[in-house]
Amino acid sequence: MQFDNFNTDMFLRDYWQKRPLLIKNPWRSWRNPLSPDELGGLACEDHVESRLITQSSDDWNAEHGPLPEARFGELGKTPWTLLVQAVDHHVPDVAALIEPFRFIPNWRIDDVMVSYASDGGGVGPHFDHYDVFLVQGLGKRRWQIGKMCDDQTALRSHEDLLLLADFEVVDEWILEPGDMLYIPPGIAHNGVAIGEDCMTYSIGFRSPSRKELIGNWCDVMLPELTDDDRYSDPDLTAQQNPGEISAAAVERLHAMLTEKFADRAAFARWFGTYSSTPRYPETDWRPEKFIEIEQMQDLLSAKHPLLRNPASRFSFIREGNDKLLLFVDGECFPCVDEAIKLAEMLCAEDQCIVDPERSRSDDVVALVTELYNRGSLAFDWG
């Protein structure tokens, strides 16, 4: 699917992380990529993350999947919502929804959550810490927009859901199939299904917090540090008050920490692996049969198209003009010469054919073989 009437430059300038925007059916031709029954089937699978939200009066209850198939027949007329995470990992047509949003860097993209709601169903007023595009797939949904929130905003006491204690509506829209609503981080919103068969596709974007970055990078750095790397002051002189921590000592101690944090190259390599780690790293996508390098050479020469695994994360960081670090699913692959062009192509396109000349490069063949055997790439045999 592609956009037909959407100005990305105007959107990034005037709306991205600034204010909500309603976009009326921007697609060349909208087609709902998933049926309600197919979504329900995914929610019954062990390896798929899902939740069932039911409403009782002014309260919401959450059940975590996998859900037994019989559960859907027990719901009756009570408003309910089914939420299934990372549907793009399992349904190629849902993964295709992400492609028009590639004007936003790959590392920012999280997943496509799909919801189905009965009449009146929703998850209650809330806010997110990330950007989200809400695409209406089937039916209608009323979206109410509130004010900016933060970590100090009062929440209801709820074990599973982050519901706002107070919600003041400042704007309201009704979305129909193909319509899209952009919500920046922190903006309160509330979606309620109008009628039956209401399906919404939530395309979410990651926004790491400073706390998250520092905590995770420290976890990686600590094992590399030794107890021998200690504070020292061979130039120590007597001071007037022994209780004072001198400015010179503070400066030296501070430098011990900031020297590590100031290593940009180390940070870049860490962040590439961190940000490309799959959402569900425990899932094994490896093929049943591995391919040897010699066989891969033949397959690439035959121009068989390569497909990115929708569950995989690809991005890269340049190191000067003659080296590139490719990051795939939490691993770093240094690339030079012809492998650089391949890495750029893999990150830019979800499907590609390796140029015959490039396929004769040992580095290219070795890289594709490694990524294929890891399950990050596959061949389109169709």
Q: What pLDDT digit, counting tens, does each position of 77-110 carry?
A: 889 999 999 999 999 999 999 999 999 999 999 9
Residue 382 has a pLDDT of 62
Buried b / exposed e over 350-376, threshold 16 CB at 10 Å, is beeebbeebbebebbbebbbbbbbbbb
- Across residues 16-38, what is the average pLDDT? 95
Q: Is the pLDDT of residue 157 over 90?
A: no
**% pLDDT > 70, the chain:** 100
Least confident of 36-45, 56-65, 234-243, 302-311: 56-65
Q: Mean pLDDT across the chain, nearest whole number?
A: 94
Residue 177 has a pLDDT of 97
**% pLDDT > 90, the chain:** 89
Residue 361 has a pLDDT of 92
Both tokens of residue 186? 């922190």
Q: Could you check whether the bond before residue 208 is cis, i.e. omega within 30 degrees of 0?
A: no
DSSP of 78-112:
S-EEEEES-GGGT-HHHHGGGGGGTTS-GGGEEEE
Both tokens of residue 251? 């400066």
Return the number of other C-beta atoms located less than 10 Å from residue 235's C-beta.
Answer: 7
Cα torsion through 281, 287, 293, 299, rounded to 10: -120
- Across residues 343-350, what is the average pLDDT? 94
Q: Is the pLDDT of residue 339 over 80?
A: yes
- Across residues 260-265, what is the average pLDDT? 91
Beta strand segments in the chain, E: 21-23, 50-56, 59-64, 80-84, 109-117, 132-148, 171-175, 180-183, 187-205, 306-308, 314-318, 324-328, 331-335, 351-352, 377-379
Residue 281 has a pLDDT of 92
Residue 317 has a pLDDT of 97
- Across residues 174-183, what is the average pLDDT? 98
What domains lie within the chain, and their CATH numbers? Answer: 8-205 (2.60.120.650), 293-379 (3.40.366.30)
Q: Is the pLDDT of residue 261 over 80?
A: yes
Q: What pLDDT digit, counting tens, does each position of 126-135 carry?
A: 999 999 999 9
Residue 378 has a pLDDT of 95
Q: Is the pLDDT of residue 144 over 80?
A: yes
Residue 46 has a pLDDT of 93
